[in-house]
Amino acid sequence: MSPLPAALVEALDAAVASQRLLVASDFDGTLAPIVNDPAAARALPDAADALVALADQPSVSVALISGRALATLRELSAMPSSVALVGSHGAEFDTGFANDVDEALLRRIVDELMAIADGRPGVAVETKLASVALHVRNASDSDGEAALAEAREAARSWDAEITAGKKVLEFAVVSTDKGEAVDILRDRADATAVVFFGDDVTDEKAFARMRDGDVGVKVGQGETLARYRIDSPDDVASALAYLLDTLSRRS
């Protein structure tokens, strides 16, 4: 674990000084390290503890915004009700989906992706309430690339929103946008500043919605719209602990 960049510390200090703070984070690769078995993902204890403690601070709202289905995110994160949970890349709130789910199209996509995965060890299909993900993290390079290429070709005939992540393609039958989710949470909390942590391509939509005084933090390598960058989930834990310590000293 390395020290937080000085520019990030300065930005976090400014965010803490605002009247109402929203702290939001992706889950996989951000709060929780990436693992080969998606069902085995768990938040780092220090990060989870800090996030829960932040939710108990006056004038602070906390949320997780994940590509996971909401029920799965609730199970894996084990977060209390004080932490808002948003699943399906920002489309699934506790009140349900904003738009109707095309269940017939969803079943068709599942069937075709299962056929693509068949006979390719390590290629997996994850079915959610409003989307289907094709995972190739555990496949050979040749099988993974072939499966993704076939899925993209098949998707030409699907009226689905495609989201590319790390070794995964996801096909949603409802509109998904983490940036819109951040704005909804911002309005709900009447937040005057937002701190958002994310590591994947899908998090760029949230970084694109950052305003003056907000703090977008990219975790890991890759091009990004975020102004700040840290290396790993361990550094996310450090940043959350720093926010908590700073808020505690101000209260």
Residues catalogued as catalytic: 26
d(CA 184, CA 180): 6
Q: What sign has the CA pseudo-torsion 72, 218, 24, 52?
A: positive
CA-to-CA separations, 142 to 59, 146, 148, in angstroms, rounded: 50, 6, 10
Q: How many helices (H) and strands (E) does the chain have?
A: 8, 12
Q: How far apart are CA 70 and CA 91, in angstroms?
A: 9
C-alpha to C-alpha distance for 181 and 93, rounded to whole angstroms:
9
